A and B are shown apart, each in its own frame.
Chain A
Amino acid sequence: MWISLKNIFFLCPLIVLWGCGKAPAFQRAPSIIEQGQNTFSEKVSLSSYKLRAQIFWQETPSTEELGSFIINFYDEKGLLVDPEDEFKIEPLMPDMGHGTSPVLISRIRQGLWLVEEVSLYMPGRWLIPVVFYKGEVILGQINYEITL
Chain B
Amino acid sequence: MKYFAFIFLFFSQKLWAAACCGGGGSLPQMILGDSRYQVSTSLTTQNYVADVDTKGLAKYRSQDSSDQSTGLSLSAAYQWMWRLQSSLSFSYKERQVEGPHKKAQKDQNFGDTDFSTAYEVLPEITYSPWVPRVFLYAKVSAPTGKSVYETQANEQVTGSGFWYMGPGLVFYKLQGLWDYTLALEVQKGFSRQFASLQIDPGIRSKALVAIGRSFDQWRLGFSLGPTWEEGKKMTTNAQSLKGESSYWWDGQLSLHYAFNDAHALALSFSDQTLWGKSKNTAVGQSAALAYIFKSPL
Binding site for B on A (CB under 8 A): 5-6, 8-9, 11-12, 15-16, 18-25, 27-29, 62-65, 90, 92, 94-101, 119, 121-125, 127, 129, 131, 136, 138, 141
Contact = CB atoms under 8 A, between A and B. Distances in A.
Given A9-B180, A12-B182, A95-B244, A122 B154 contact: yes
Contacts of B272: 24
Contacts, number: 161
Nearest to B61: A123
B58 A28 contact: yes
A26 to B, nearest CB: 9
Interface stretch (B25-33, B49-57, B68-76, B88-96): B49-57
Given A12-B182, A94-B234, A23 B225 contact: no
Interface in B34-65: 50-54, 56-60
Contact of B101 (A8, A64, A121): A64
A23 B272 CA distance: 8
Given A25-B274, A95-B231, A15 B207 contact: yes
Contacts of B286: none
Contacts of A5: 122, 130-132, 134, 171
Chain A contact residues: over half helix, strand or loop, or mixed?
loop
A119 B151 CA distance: 11
Question: Which bracket fits the contact residues of B?
Answer: 35 or more
B260 interface: no
Interface of B: 20-21, 50-54, 56-60, 99-102, 122, 130-132, 134, 148-149, 152-154, 171, 173, 180, 182, 194-197, 199, 201, 207-209, 224-226, 231-234, 236-239, 241-244, 246, 248-249, 251, 272-278, 280, 283
